[in-house]
Amino acid sequence: MIRFLLLNLITLHFIFSLSAQGEREITLEEIFYTPSFAAQTVRGMNFLKSGDYAVLERSFYGMPNIIQYETSSGIAMDTIFRGRMLLPDGAERPIAFDSYVLSKDESKILLACNMTRQYRHSYLADYYVWDRDFETLAPLTLKGKVIAPHFSPDGSKISFVFKNNLYIKDFETGEEYAVTTDGEKNEIINGVADWVYEEEFIRVRYHDWSVDGKHLAYIKFNEKEVPEFTMQRYGSLYPENIKFKYPKAGEKNSTVSVHMYNVDSAINVNVGLSGSSDQYIPRIKWTKNHSKLAILRMNRHQNELEMLFADAHKGAVTSILVERNKRYIDINDHWMFLNDQKHFLWVSEMDGYKHVYLYDISGKLVRQITKGEFDVTDVYGYDSREQKLYYQSSEETALERYVYSIDIKGKNNKKLGEYIGWCSAKFNKTFDYFVHTHSDVSSPYRVTVNMSLDGSEVRVLEDNEGLKELLKDYRLSYPEFFKFKTSEQVELNGYMIKPTDFNPRKKYPVLMYVYGGPGSQMVKNQWNHQSLYHQYLANMGYIIACVDNRGTGGRGEEFKKSTYLNLGKYETIDQIEAAKYLANLSYVDKFRIGIWGWSYGGYMAALCMTKGADVFKAGIAVAPVSNWRYYDTIYTERYLRTPQENPEGYDENSPVNFVEKLKGNFMLVHGMADDNVHLQNSTALCTALVNENKDFDIAFYPDKAHGISGGITRLHLFTKMANYLKENL
């Protein structure tokens, strides 16, 4: 009942907001080419040992400075680093840095410059180290751009990867030496992820220092047997072939092994794990014991997860915990070892929802800490002094997130702050304060300092009042939430954006926006810059609707994993039923319903345009998977197993196999340098459509990756899509 009332209060707020808007028309140039509607955030925030925090701020001359502030008062305490000091020998002017990292003892600052994107999460950069004690600046290395540098706990050393080999720089001696020497492109990678680990386990750095700084653990990826993928860049007279290892579903993965380097003896110890391409090592992390390395190992089906401890001296391993699931297990970074060296926290869906559990160091369950029909979606930390755990969850409604505290015994649960919307937090090292970020669908981010005791606000860091005032000048309508039950009695959440001059006696065309992938969530009470495009379309006379189908997140394990082995089947059924529900609304033109999506959403749009051909008049699929056989091992096999084991799960839900059903207007969009969802997906779909003599439209973007961005590209793409809808829906 509380959730129902809350939804209605939110909807009333949105309806009230409609009447408060101005008369200016939003333009695509303002959304995609100028920073007009960019929400401000607090850049480069890091909490310090003192409890103060540091942030990046630009000086009057435009150079970035790192400023230290007292958390409760906001008084500037110190300028930790001035951008004008980044003046390497031989340079005529200072170099701008993009980001910074403090060593744990805060004696050194690592500054990243000239960053070059590699894949989705990884980048190479030139790094400089500022020694705060001696006020000296030095390049991290003279080798060139490196990847994933990482300070030792005492700040005396730093590890990094250059050309697939792992190195250590010793600041006290000035010595730089190689930990590995066998690294080679497309063969051996040391200390950082291969393509598929980075993309699907969302981790770049795979090297970690022990708590005493005497051992450096790392993973070695042997990708010699992984099939090679080639794509082309067209910026020169002869197109450049880009080759990298990409394991498609059912193919060979990298063989991974774990190693520990002893800094004093310069000896590499090989951890005693059987090398196999059918196992994954998604995480390594040192315990609070300097001689114990924790390793997470999964089987290829990803339905068995094991925690092992490896001895730093001999490499012998001990199994501590094994978790099994009848479908699959998601990897998370919420597990942590407590300072007492006797316990660790573990996050699992073992009771049907994602919750936090306390284990002793031997792997024996002590207790479940959080309980209920909701998911814990983030864990912010554990205050050992007060014995409190701080976390984020969907306790009140799947549409929102709030910050909570609870004691280690699973009692005295408390919501921190009185907010409605989407909240997240970052706690200082003493757990006295946290930086709180809040937004809702009609309000951009508001960043404040709050008390950890009760969540009360101490002061505002960023309120985006300038953007809020600007938005008042425009004709904008904000999402209204709704829910409905399908013919299978499955309740689904959705939102719609109506034209600002909405008249319930008129009939409007509907454009549905979909993502729908496992664990994702589009229907949420959170600010989203992307929604401005949908509001632009609403002003063209469309109702925009979005529904989270089965398989999406925030509603427990059963709802999320119901699509297992049949990826795309139930999602498509739900989107078609959502379209039929909307078609029965008195103000909807049931003959003019369209759908669009990107990536997994592009896959869904293509499936709906074929399997739901009688329902949808027009569709746009951007960067879609057309056949799961073309996508990578870790993601695809997590939900479908291999093509050899489950051919029906692949073939019965891949749009390339249903093109004969297409009736409506269909546009296909893809970046030609997409290293993630390869252009091969769209060319296969094109071939199938041509073979069935189906008319369709194509927009391919040369040298653009999965995000199809850079320069004026986004403006061109979204203008093209808007014009296509205007002509075809």
* Residue 139, number of CB atoms within 10 A of its CB: 14
Is 22 among the domain residues? no
β-bridge partners, 242: 231
> Residue 8 contacts by C-beta under 8 Å, 6 or more apart in sequence?
none
Distance between CA atoms of residues 481 and 496, nearest Å: 7
Task: Look at strands 588-598 and 508-514 and give their pairing.
Answer: parallel
Alpha carbons within 13 A on the beta-carbon side of 72: 9
Instruction: Note whether 207 and 304 are same-domain residues.
Output: yes
> Residue 274 contacts by C-beta under 8 Å, 6 or more apart in sequence?
none
Instruction: Note whether 396 and 497 are same-domain residues.
Output: no
Instruction: Note whether 491 and 633 are same-domain residues.
Output: yes
Q: Is the pLDDT of residue 276 over 80?
A: no
Could you report the per-residue pLDDT of 641-685, keeping only the tens digit for each? 999 999 999 999 999 999 999 999 999 999 999 999 999 999 999
Confidence band of 529 (pLDDT split at 50, 70, 90)? confident
Confidence band of 1 (pLDDT split at 50, 70, 90)? very low
Provide the 8-state DSSP code for 83.
G
State the residue range of the domain holding 199: 182-324
> What CATH number corresponds to the domain at position 652?
3.40.50.1820
Q: Is the pLDDT of residue 9 over 50?
A: no
* Average pLDDT rounded to a whole number, residues 330-337: 96
Tokens matching residue 505: 């006696």
pLDDT at position 21 is 64
Instruction: Note whether 201 and 307 are same-domain residues.
Output: yes
CA 327, distance to chain mean position in Å, is: 22
Instruction: Note whether 55 and 116 are same-domain residues.
Output: yes
Is 26 among the domain residues? no
Is 544 among the domain residues? yes
Instruction: Note whether 578 and 715 are same-domain residues.
Output: yes
Q: Give the CA distances from residue 620 to residues 95, 656, 698, in Å, rounded to whole numbers and listed in that order.
A: 43, 15, 10
Is 521 among the domain residues? yes
Q: Is the pLDDT of residue 563 over 70?
A: yes
Tokens matching residue 68: 């230290």
State which of 293, 324, 355 marks the end of a domain. Answer: 324
Amino acid at 259: H
pLDDT at position 641 is 98
Confidence band of 58 (pLDDT split at 50, 70, 90)? confident
Instruction: Note whether 606 and 716 are same-domain residues.
Output: yes
* Average pLDDT rounded to a whole number, residues 459-484: 95
Specify burial of residue 387 (Cβ count, 10 A radius: 0-12, 13-18, 19+). Answer: exposed
Q: Is the pLDDT of residue 686 over 50?
A: yes
Instruction: Note whether 222 and 87 are same-domain residues.
Output: no
What are the backbone angles phi and psi of residue 722, rounded to the nearest 5°? -60, -45
Name the pTM for this structure: 0.94
- Tell which wins on pLDDT, 257 or 15: 257
Instruction: Note whether 347 and 306 are same-domain residues.
Output: no
Q: Is the pLDDT of residue 262 over 60?
A: yes
pLDDT at position 89 is 85
Is 177 among the domain residues? no
Is 720 among the domain residues? yes
State which of 143, 168, 193 marks the end of a domain. Answer: 168
Provide the 8-state DSSP code for 538.
H
Instruction: Note whether 500 and 413 are same-domain residues.
Output: no
| Buried/exposed 27-49: b ≥16 CB within 10 Å, e otherwise | ebebbbeeeebebbebebebbbe
Is 29 among the domain residues? no
* 3-state secondary structure (DSSP) of residue 549: coil
pLDDT at position 163 is 98
State which of 133, 168, 203 marks the end of a domain. Answer: 168
Instruction: Tell me which residue has tokens 């709802």.
Output: 559
Q: Is the pLDDT of residue 483 over 60?
A: yes
Confidence band of 26 (pLDDT split at 50, 70, 90)? very high
Could you report the per-residue pLDDT of 626-636, keeping only the tens digit for each? 999 999 999 99
The tally of domains found in the chain comes to: 4
Q: What percent of the chain has pLDDT over 70?
A: 97
Average of per-residue pLDDT values in the chain: 94
Is 8 among the domain residues? no
Instruction: Note whether 259 and 293 are same-domain residues.
Output: yes
> What CATH number corresponds to the domain at position 345?
2.120.10.30
Confidence band of 59 (pLDDT split at 50, 70, 90)? confident
Instruction: Note whether 468 and 608 are same-domain residues.
Output: no
* Average pLDDT rounded to a whole number, residues 527-549: 95
Cβ atoms 65, 100 nearer than 8 A? no
